[in-house]
């Protein structure tokens, strides 16, 4: 039976390849050659689809992305240009082969820890008249379309791509201006009316009733980071590489260019960027433990970082709350270049081993901030990584890479391997954004790449856009919970600030409040004492980018809910989406005298009505109801 199956697959592949070659051989002036790729088991006209075309007049390829038969990305240019070959034009199809990619894997962090990915991959083999080769890989799943270029032979360094994304006329866009650290506000535009300039590679569009989030996956030091470039009045967003020349030695496989598409819930709940990434390079993940942390920078600033006694006080407070980590930011270490590291006792210059010992006795692990410049050479990495492991430090927050150059991604490759070897959790700041890293390197708990809590420029609209843009693609270290900061855009809503701790997913949820601010808000403190950092399931309950977002995240049998809204006060009507049965739902909302907790019994398929103040939000926890149950506490 297996032999017959293999024969049928082989015959089908040969037929597809022959048909593709015959179609591609149309005479000049004929209609473009067209090939389609559909999601696995997709019903006719439903789900994502890809349509590849080859212009017979010049041999230039383009790709269209559809959802439910409607175009969400118009036919858009494809191609890559190297020192010795222009692989964006003059192409002819040599053959096509298809395969199904079906994978199950677990992650340490993210929207859900157990993943099942199923995709159809089509490989289109192209050649030029002078013998240059380009393979185009197109993958289609139930929540997205992606493509990448494979150059089987060495054709020199890459000098650019012609890749682009063209939107249907009238499409809406939610974009952030590009910065080298990916920290900028998101704002809404008409896709054609957005100002000319460069935008971050995490752009959300809406065409008709469907959404499309443009991202990338599997970016390593073999290539360069990308951004989007938009010309005034155009509906096309071109891909621009950081490096003018990407160094290549031999064959090349580029990162995936991904379009997550579907309704808003499909995009928000998608794990497509991780699904495209390589499997984990860390075999033993038992030491990787996501959890909330008390982050002392916004709570105490640099003086706290320089004081052992203050850090011990933060450890005590974290222990009282049941938070497994504290994060010690800048100021805790001297310049290592001033130390004589040939002295076997050089580590005694730091009080960190004493803090680690103190935390260990109280069940609190210590994570430390360290500047990228102190880890950018092999000698520095050999100095620091084994030492931090020896001290018992649990993780590193590495800051100020501020680059998406190929050289920087080579550094990422090295530091990711090094931190895994020395059992150090990782939080990247001043960094790129997740591009499948959580699957490949599961010790990466979170990354900044966001205009976060410490900024003074945030807007309510920005807060309500992040769940549909930056946070879709991976852990986001926004650092919520800084109730003491008057600069936050939801300053009138402590409940909205509390809701961000659920709304924004991060493997290490760095809580940025002062102990005093939590003690003044016992309901917030009580909620944060229960919140996990890893989730079994995530659902979008309600939302509209830039206007509001409500997400529910499940940990075992409890659902935690976070909501934020921009604009006037209202009563939010939130569909629960928990299915049948009775649930106890405890909400935390803003009241005249502070936060108010209220419990009620609701069916899991009904709506939750929640009062929300202007530019505010709420937090909630839901658990199965039974007679006599009055709380969802464990």
Pairing of strands 158-161, 80-82: antiparallel
Q: Which of 154, 374, 454, 537 is catalytic?
A: 454
Q: Is 399 a catalytic residue?
A: yes
303 contacts: CB under 8 Å, gap ≥ 6: 310, 331
- Residue 159 burial by CB count (10 A; 0-12/13-18/19+): exposed, middle or buried? middle
CA distance 203 to 190: 13
Q: What is the DSSP string of 275-292?
A: HHSPPPS-S--TT-----
* Cβ neighbour number for residue 344 with a 10 Å cutoff: 7
Longest CA–CA span in the chain (Å) reads 80
Q: Which of 112, 183, 218, 399 is catalytic?
A: 399
Half-sphere exposure of 181 (CA within 13 A, CB side): 17
Query: What pairs with residue 104 in β-bridges?
Result: 116
**Residue 361 phi, psi (nearest 5):** -65, -20
CA distance 523 to 599: 13
Q: Are 81 and 248 in contact (CB under 8 A)?
A: no
Alpha-carbon torsion (277, 279, 284, 286), positive or negative: positive
CA distance 199 to 413: 25
The tokens for 197 are 């300039």
Residue 328, CA distances (Å) to 230, 331, 394 in order: 40, 8, 11
* Nearest residue to 444 (alpha-carbon basis) of 468, 463, 466, 418: 418
Q: Are 144 and 210 in contact (CB under 8 A)?
A: no
Q: Are 213 and 202 in contact (CB under 8 A)?
A: yes
Q: What is the DSSP string of 353-384?
A: HHHHHHHHHTT-EEEEEEEGGGSSSHHHHHHH
Q: Are 151 and 170 in contact (CB under 8 A)?
A: no
CA distance 375 to 127: 43
Q: Is 454 a catalytic residue?
A: yes
CA distance 625 to 584: 5
Active-site residues, by number, are 399, 454
């Amino acid at each position: 039976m297996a032999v017959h199956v293999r024969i049928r697959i082989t015959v089908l592949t040969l037929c597809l390849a022959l048909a593709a070659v015959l179609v591609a051989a149309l005479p000049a002036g004929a209609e473009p050659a067209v090939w389609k790729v559909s999601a696995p088991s997709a019903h006719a006209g439903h789900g994502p689809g890809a349509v590849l075309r080859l212009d017979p007049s010049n041999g230039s390829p383009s790709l269209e992305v559809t959802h439910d038969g409607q175009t969400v990305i118009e036919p858009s240019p494809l191609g890559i240009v190297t020192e010795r070959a222009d692989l964006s034009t003059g192409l002819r199809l040599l053959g096509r082969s298809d395969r199904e990619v079906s994978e199950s894997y677990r992650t340490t962090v993210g929207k859900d820890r157990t993943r099942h990915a199923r995709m159809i991959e089509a490989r289109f083999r192209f050649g030029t008249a002078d013998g240059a080769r380009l393979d185009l890989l197109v993958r289609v799943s139930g929540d997205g379309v992606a493509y990448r270029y494979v150059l089987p032979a060495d054709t020199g360094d890459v000098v650019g791509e012609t890749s682009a994304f063209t939107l249907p006329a009238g499409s809406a866009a939610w974009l952030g201006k590009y910065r080298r650290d990916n920290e900028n506000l998101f704002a809404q535009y008409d896709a054609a009316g957005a100002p000319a300039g460069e935008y971050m590679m995490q752009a959300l569009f809406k065409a008709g009733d469907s959404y499309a989030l443009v991202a990338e996956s599997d970016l390593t030091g073999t290539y360069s980071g990308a951004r989007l470039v938009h010309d005034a009045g155009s509906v096309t967003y071109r891909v621009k590489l950081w490096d003018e020349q990407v160094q290549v030695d031999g064959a090349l496989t580029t990162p995936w260019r991904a379009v997550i598409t579907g309704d808003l819930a499909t995009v928000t709940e998608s794990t497509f960027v991780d699904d495209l990434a390589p499997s984990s390079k860390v075999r033993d993940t038992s030491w990787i433990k996501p959890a909330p942390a008390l982050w002392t920078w916004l709570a105490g600033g640099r003086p706290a970082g320089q004081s052992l006694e203050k850090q011990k006080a933060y450890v005590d407070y974290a222990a009282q709350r049941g938070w497994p980590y504290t994060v010690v930011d800048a100021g805790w270490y001297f310049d290592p270049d001033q130390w004589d590291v040939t002295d076997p006792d050089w580590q005694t210059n730091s009080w960190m081993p004493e803090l680690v010992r103190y935390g260990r006795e109280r069940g609190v692990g210590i994570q430390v901030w360290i500047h990228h410049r102190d880890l950018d050479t092999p000698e520095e990495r050999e100095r620091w990584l084994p030492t931090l492991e020896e001290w018992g430090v649990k993780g590193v927050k590495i800051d100020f890479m501020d680059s998406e150059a190929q050289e920087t991604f080579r550094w990422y490759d090295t530091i990711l391997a090094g931190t895994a070897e020395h059992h150090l959790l990782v939080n990247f700041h001043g960094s790129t954004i997740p591009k499948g890293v959580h699957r490949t390197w599961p010790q990466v708990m979170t990354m900044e790449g966001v205009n976060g809590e410490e900024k003074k420029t945030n807007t309510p609209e920005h807060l309500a856009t992040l769940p549909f843009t930056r946070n879709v693609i991976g852990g986001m270290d926004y650092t919520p919970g800084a109730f003491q900061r008057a600069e936050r855009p939801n300053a009138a809503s402590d409940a909205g600030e509390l809701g961000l701790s659920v709304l924004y997913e991060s493997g290490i949820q760095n809580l940025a409040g002062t102990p005093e601010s939590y003690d003044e808000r016992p309901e917030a403190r009580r909620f944060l004492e229960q919140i996990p950092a890893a989730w079994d399931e995530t659902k979008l309950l309600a939302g509209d980018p830039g206007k509001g977002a409500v997400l529910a995240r499940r940990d075992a049998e409890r659902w935690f809910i976070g909501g934020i809204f921009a604009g006037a006060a209202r009563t939010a009507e939130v569909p629960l989406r928990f299915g049948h049965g009775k649930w106890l739902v405890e909400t935390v909302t803003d009241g005249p005298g502070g936060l108010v907790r209220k419990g009620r019994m609701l069916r899991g398929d009904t709506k939750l009505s929640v009062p929300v103040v202007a530019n505010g939000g709420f937090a909630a926890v839901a658990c199965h109801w039974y007679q006599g149950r009055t709380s969802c506490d464990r």
